[in-house]
Chain A
Amino acid sequence: MRDQEILAGLYRTYGGRVYARCLRLLKNPEEAQDATQEVFIKVSRSLDTFRNEASPLTWMTRIATNHCLNVIRGKKAPWHEKYRVEVETMSGTVDGGFHLLEHKELLRLVLSRVVERDPQLAELATYAFVDDMRQQDICTLVGMSAPTLRKRLREFIAIARDELSSHVPGITFAEAPI
């Protein structure tokens, strides 16, 4: 099969998935379109490798995630103000508090901060907490042992706690999870 046929087939099957992932992380349709294009450029440069991939989705997910996290890293924003606004918007709307994983925008803000200082940790947290991947799948994807992965994810949770505590005065946490 010719390269262009393979690429078009990948686009048909995975284009929507790649775009959705980019949109989820970047929250901007134009940026997500550009990111989708960049992902397929990278794919086109590695078609020989793709032919042997059991799960092109997994590989393209990794390319898309890292690309989007790099885009996020290149931006500067008033994080503490955004944190506060996001937390305050939940006031009175939920009983018993809310879970960070269910507040995708707040989670994305924390990820945006983490990627500045530890891109790999942001990547791992994206797979675990945004994508809901199984830990064993993440370990296979990034070549990491399960205990190491969990240690790293606990680091992320600790950073999330510190970030929110530092920038949202008066915030409380339901429990000490780590």
Chain B
Amino acid sequence: MTLPRVHLPDLPDDAAADDSARVSRFDVERLACGELRGDEQARVQRAVDRDPALRAFLQELRADDAAFLLQQPPAAFMARLAAATPAPPMTPWARAAAVLGGLRLQLMAGAMAAAALVAVVVLPGTGGDDDGPIRGKGGERQPALSFFVKEDGGARLGSAGETLKAGDQIQLAVKDADPRALVVIGVDSAGVVSVYASEETTTVPKGQTGPRPLPAALVLDDVVGAERFFVVYGDDLAALERAARGAAARLADDVKSGRADLTVTTRLAVDDALPQASIHILKVR
């Protein structure tokens, strides 16, 4: 086997090494965290506006941070902090340990919730939800479509088939995949079809991990019964959206006529070559 040639990093001579004018990814991280002010903020923002790679990186950071807070919400962290505060004799270390003991539990709970979701969606033959063929870089199966339920002070990962009430807020999250476009579309028990996302994914930076929350949260209406959300991937956005809308409309007709059950039907009738996944909720008043 012929091994590929490796390029090692180069460093210029000291005289030519001044990189103070360069906008680095770390600068963009500081921008995302709101640390930059005045001229520095303007300089980095201009660079982001000009450079598609930096712009994509900033979007990735914001999506990652939003996903982190949705999956690891600070609410429990704060509650345990408050519970630990009334004990005045505690040393700073003891206080921190008490608070962060809560954080450990919270982090573990988040991981367990994520694991539970994966377990639910990949079980075959149960009439449960369909995770689809999206796989991570290491070949591991990853949930292509999930949702978070907003709660006071944060959010938690929702479960497939979870019962939710009218007025509850959820946020759908998708796993970006190799195909260039994706459509997220929903069908409810009244036969209403809603498109929640229809977008190219080519700007998603490589190496992005975890689900990407869609920008807007959904407030559940008062139509009771099942609602199923589908994500379908393809290379041609316009054709993909047409196919997804058409299949969703046919499914909606079947639901209205009683020929289909959204708790059981996990796939849209689109070309088998288009990867897809779905997850459903049950709405009550």
Contacts and interface: CB of A to CB of B under 8 A. Distances in A.
Interface residues of A, number: 72
A175 B81 contact: no
A150 B18 CA distance: 11
Interface string A17-48: 10110010000011001101100110011000
Interface residues of B, number: 57
A165 to B, nearest CB: 10
A14 interface: yes
Given A4-B99, A56-B35, A91-B1, A101 B14 contact: no
B96 A15 contact: no
B22 A134 contact: yes
Contacts of A49: none
A19 B77 contact: no
B35 A45 contact: no
Contacts of A56: 33, 35
B113 to A, nearest CB: 13
Given A17-B65, A131-B26, A133-B24, A37 B7 contact: no
Interface string B1-17: 11111111111001001
Contacts, number: 176
Given A4-B81, A55-B35, A131-B26, A41 B7 contact: no
A171 B24 CA distance: 31
Contact of B77 (A11, A132, A146): A11
Interface in A110-153: 127, 129, 131-137, 146-147, 150, 153
Interface in B95-121: 95-97, 99-100, 103-104, 107-108, 110-111
Contacts of A133: 24, 26
14 contacts: A2-B85, A11-B103, A57-B35, A58-B30, A91-B1, A100-B8, A100-B9, A129-B9, A132-B24, A132-B25, A134-B22, A171-B3, A178-B10, A178-B11
Interface of A: 2-4, 7-8, 11-17, 19-20, 23, 29-30, 33-34, 36-37, 40-41, 44-45, 54-58, 61, 87-88, 90-94, 96-101, 104, 127, 129, 131-137, 146-147, 150, 153-154, 157, 160-161, 164, 168, 170-175, 177-178
